[in-house]
Each structure stands twice: as structure tokens, then as C-alpha cells.
């Protein structure tokens, strides 16, 4: 199956003719104009700007915006459109059931937990996965709990699948406010480092993330709350894992780093995998193909953040490394559960507009400096 049953979907199916247009439903009011112009409710409120006693990394270099997580951020309850204030009460959040979040690779693990957590907070969530039956099976229990969740099949490594998904989102939903790029693969065991499947890993983890992000950028809704992209990444892709000095210089040069240079780096790695010289060229030593894919995602995030800022777009883009998490990818090993990761990941995605950074890498709960990206 490639989509949720229409009777259980929070969206009404678009008619075959005339050409599809955004449709309104009780749970989602798609705009009739450019979706990026649609407002989000509750962008101003008593929670905005509230500061926790737990200030994260207060001595950040000027290259980073000062990041102070709001007090409400640390105690966000699972109830729609509300968050705890300093006195233990509640105040209105910036989001509502009309706020649409797309979560990729969400049929299990971190992706599924993030999708569930966002839906518990009262958003409408589009849960995606490559496998139609597994994706629908993952979405159904959430809908049974009364959550606004719809499944849509999506393979981020397939351009045709990405194009079809973007068209469906535009014509049936009308736009989105949050994108969580979680879909990723790895073929290594915990203690192995094979690059046999490097091309598949890069096509999914980096090129797939970039392909989907670029396809959905025109569909983000402009609002005072700022739309958000959260890329689930890894500290394996931090610059301190790179042993090649020229490669480090390339990635550290904020003024000249471009998407083209990032893709050239990835192509160079894949070429060296094919000719057998990758091990002697200073790439990360642990899960090398996966690490390079996340190195590229981290770099792309910084470049995209700069591009969006310079263009005046109200879209933030950040990376989040959940750390060693107990999922199928780690064969059940790890320091924390997918649910614990999802709790913090959802909080990052729902930061109040006044506290929302861009171009930032969160290593678990701590924002990192560019020199370590």
C-alpha cells in the first residue's frame, strides 16, 4: 500500500479533474495561495523568550548565534498546543493541528518515535517510509490513539518517488511547516567498517536528504513562527573525524564552501572506494561510508542555512545528533532509547521562534562550534 486509507486520513483526496488544488479539511486548512504565505497560529505568546535555568553552552563563538533554550523547552508536556510555563502552568504554543510536520524513515526507530511525539503535541504528521505495508502498520496505531497521522510512501533515494511525494503534498495538503530528515541506512555491524555499500549509503543519507529538502523548500509556509528543517545526523560526521588536512580546510572555509564542493567531495570519496584508495586518504575511520554521508549532511546544512538567511527566507535548518541510540541500526546497542531521543528531537523542532537558531549542530543536548562540525 502506498497511502493511508482515505477514511482514516486527515486530508481529503484531491479530485482527478480539474487540476488538483489544496483542499480544506477539519484538521488541516490548506491555503489557496502560495503555501509559504500561510500563517501559523500562536506565533506570539507568554512562552516566547522564556529562559531556563539550564543555559546550554553560554560561551559560544561569534560564528554561532547565542543559544538559550527556553524554560518551557525542557518540560514540554504531551498535550496539544500547550507547554509548561515557569510557574508550572501552561501557555499557548506557536503550533496547532494545522501545523504540518513531515518525518522521513518513520516506520520504526527514531523516526517513528519523533513522528509520534510531534503528533502527541497536537501537530498533523505525515509519516513516510519506503515500504508501504510497514509504513501503514506504523501509522495505524497512532491514528487509533486519535492522533492526526497520515502515511505516505516515500523513497528519498528515488527522484521519481520524491517528485511524486512533493506533488501530493502540494496538491492534497497545501504545504508544510516542519521537515525532519531522518531516513538513513547503514550496512555495517557495530565493530566492522565495510564500504561495500557506500554508493547506496550516500545516495540515501546525503543525496536523498538534499533531494527531498530542495523539492519541498517551495512548499514551506511563511509565518512569524519560522518553518523548520531538522536533519538527524551523527557526530561521526564531525570535522574532527577527518584526517585529511585539505579536506578539513575545504569544509572549514565558510565563505567559499558550496553545495557543488560538497558534492565533489562525495564523488571523490566514491571514486576512491571504487579504486581501493579510500583508506589512505584521511576519511573518518569508523563506519566510513556512513560518516562521510553525515559529514556531507552537516556541511549541506550550514550552506543551506546561509542561503536561506541571505534570501530572507523564514526557514531554519539544523542538525541533531542523538548519539548512540538503541535502534535496529545499532542492533539494540546504545546509551538511550528512541523515545528519549524523540522527546528532545521534538523539542528542538518546536522551539519558540525567538529561540530558534539556524545552521547549528546539536550533539545530543549541546550545540557545537563550527570548528567541530
The pairing of beta strand 178-181 with beta strand 90-92: unpaired
- In angstroms and rounded to an integer, the radius of gyration of the C-alpha atoms of the chain is 20
Phi-psi map region of 4: left, alpha, beta (phi>0 left; psi -120 to 50 alpha)? beta
Residues involved in catalysis = 290
Separation of alpha carbons 228 and 150, rounded Å: 20
User: Three-state SS for 90?
Assistant: strand
Here the cell at position 291 is: 560518516
Classify burial at 324, counting beta carbons within 10 Å of its beta carbon; exposed 0-12, middle 13-18, buried 19 or more: middle
- Please, what is the angle between helix 259-275 and helix 245-252, to 10°? 160
Instruction: Return the residue matching grid coordinates 563563538.
Output: 61
The DSSP element (H or E) to which 307 belongs, if any, is helix 288-310
Amino acid at each position: 500500500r502506498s497511502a493511508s486509507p482515505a477514511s482514516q486520513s486527515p486530508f481529503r483526496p484531491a479530485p482527478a479533474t480539474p487540476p488538483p488544488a489544496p483542499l480544506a479539511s477539519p484538521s488541516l486548512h490548506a491555503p489557496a495561495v502560495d503555501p509559504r504565505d500561510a500563517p501559523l497560529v500562536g506565533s506570539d505568546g507568554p512562552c516566547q523568550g522564556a529562559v531556563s535555568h539550564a543555559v546550554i553552552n553560554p560561551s559560544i563563538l561569534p560564528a554561532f548565534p547565542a543559544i538559550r533554550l527556553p524554560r518551557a523547552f525542557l518540560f514540554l508536556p504531551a498535550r496539544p498546543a500547550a507547554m509548561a510555563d515557569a510557574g508550572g502552568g501552561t501557555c499557548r504554543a506557536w503550533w496547532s493541528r494545522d501545523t504540518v510536520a513531515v518525518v522521513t524513515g518513520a516506520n520504526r526507530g527514531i523516526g517513528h518515535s519523533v513522528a509520534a511525539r510531534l503528533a502527541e503535541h497536537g501537530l498533523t504528521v505525515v509519516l513516510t517510509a519506503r515500504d508501504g505495508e510497514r509504513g501503514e502498520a506504523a501509522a495505524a496505531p497512532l491514528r487509533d490513539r486519535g492522533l492526526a497521522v497520515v502515511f505516505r510512501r516515500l523513497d528519498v533515494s528515488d527522484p521519481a518517488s520524491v517528485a511524486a511525494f512533493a506533488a501530493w503534498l502540494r496538491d492534497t495538503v497545501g504545504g508544510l511547516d516542519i521537515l525532519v530528515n531522518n531516513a538513513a541506512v547503514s550496512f555495517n555491524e557495530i565493530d566492522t567498517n565495510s564500504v561495500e555499500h557506500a554508493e547506496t549509503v550516500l545516495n540515501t543519507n546525503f543525496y536523498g536528504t538534499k533531494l527531498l529538502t530542495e523539492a519541498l523548500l517551495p512548499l514551506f509556509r511563511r509565518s512569524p513562527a519560522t518553518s523548520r528543517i531538522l536533519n538527524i545526523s551523527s557526530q561521526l560526521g564531525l570535522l574532527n573525524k577527518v584526517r585529511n588536512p585539505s579536506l578539513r580546510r575545504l569544509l572549514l572555509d565558510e565563505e567559499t564552501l558550496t553545495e557543488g564542493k560538497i558534492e565533489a567531495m562525495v564523488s571523490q570519496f566514491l571514486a576512491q572506494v571504487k579504486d581501493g584508495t579510500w583508506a589512505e586518504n584521511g576519511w573518518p575511520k569508523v563506519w566510513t561510508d556512513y560518516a562521510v554521508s553525515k559529514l556531507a549532511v552537516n556541511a549541506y546544512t550550514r550552506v543551506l542555512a546561509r542561503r536561506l538567511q541571505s534570501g530572507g527566507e523564514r526557514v531554519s535548518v539544523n542538525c541533531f545528533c542523538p548519539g548512540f541510540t538503541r535502534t535496529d541500526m545499532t542492533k539494540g546497542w546504545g546509551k538511550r532509547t528512541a523515545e528519549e531521543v524523540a522527546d528532545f528531537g521534538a523539542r528542538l523542532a518546536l522551539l519558540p521562534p525567538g529561540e530558534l537558531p539556524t545552521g547549528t549542530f546539536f550533539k545530543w543536548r549541546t550545540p557545537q562550534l563550527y570548528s567541530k562540525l
